[in-house]
Chain A
Amino acid sequence: MTLWARDLDTGMAKWVYQMTPHDEWDFDGINEVPLIDVTIGGKKIPALVHFDRNGIGYTLNRETGELLVAQKFDPKVNWTTGVDMKTGRPSVVKQYSTDAGGPDVDVKGICPAALGSKDEQPASYDRKSGYMMVPTNHVCMTYEPFQVEYTAGQPYVGATLTMFPAPNSHGGMGNFIAWDPAAGKIVWSKPERFSVWSGALTTAGDVVFYGTLEGYVKAISPKDGKELWKFKTPSGIIGNVFTYQYAGKQYVGVYSGIGGWAGIGMAAGLQGNTEGLGAVGGYKDLAKYTTLGGSLFVFALPDTGGAGTTASNR
Chain B
Amino acid sequence: MPLEQPRERHTALFTKPVTSVRISFEMNACKLLSVFLLAAAATVANSAEAPYTVKDGNKVDAKTLAGWKTWRALACERCHGAQQEGLVGPPLVVSLKTLSKEDFHKTIMNGRPEKGMPPFSASKMVNDNWEGLYAYLKGRSDGKIKPGHVYPIDSKK
Contacts and interface: CB of A to CB of B under 8 A. Distances in A.
25 contacts: A104-B69, A146-B69, A146-B72, A146-B73, A147-B73, A147-B125, A148-B73, A148-B74, A148-B75, A149-B73, A149-B74, A149-B124, A149-B125, A151-B122, A151-B123, A152-B118, A153-B118, A154-B74, A154-B75, A154-B78, A154-B118, A155-B75, A157-B75, A158-B73, A272-B82
Contacts of B74: 148-149, 151, 154
A23 B118 CA distance: 31
B120 interface: yes
Interface string A117-154: 00000000000000000000000000000111101111
A194 B99 CA distance: 47
Given A154-B78, A155-B78, A149 B123 contact: yes
Interface of B: 69, 72-75, 78, 82, 118, 120, 122-126
Interface in A74-117: 104
A146 B72 CA distance: 8
Given A149-B126, A157-B75, 17 more contacts: A146-B69, A146-B73, A147-B69, A147-B125, A149-B124, A149-B125, A151-B74, A151-B120, A151-B122, A153-B118, A154-B74, A154-B75, A155-B75, A155-B78, A156-B75, A158-B73, A272-B82
A209 B75 CA distance: 41
B102 to A, nearest CB: 22
Contact of B118 (A151, A156, A157): A151
A272 B74 CA distance: 19
A239 B119 CA distance: 41
Contacts of A104: 69
A35 B88 CA distance: 47
Contacts of B78: 154-155
Contacts of A156: 75
A149 B156 CA distance: 28
Nearest to A275: B82
B120 to A, nearest CB: 6
A35 B73 CA distance: 42
B76 to A, nearest CB: 9
Contacts of B72: 146
B106 to A, nearest CB: 17
A148 B73 CA distance: 4
Nearest to B152: A104
A28 B120 CA distance: 30
B75 to A, nearest CB: 4
Nearest to A271: B82
A148 B69 CA distance: 9
Contacts of B75: 148, 154-157
Contacts of B69: 104, 146-147
**A-B pairs, 5 with minimum CB distance:** A155-B75, A148-B73, A153-B118, A149-B73, A149-B125
B2 to A, nearest CB: 39
A152 B113 CA distance: 13
B155 to A, nearest CB: 10
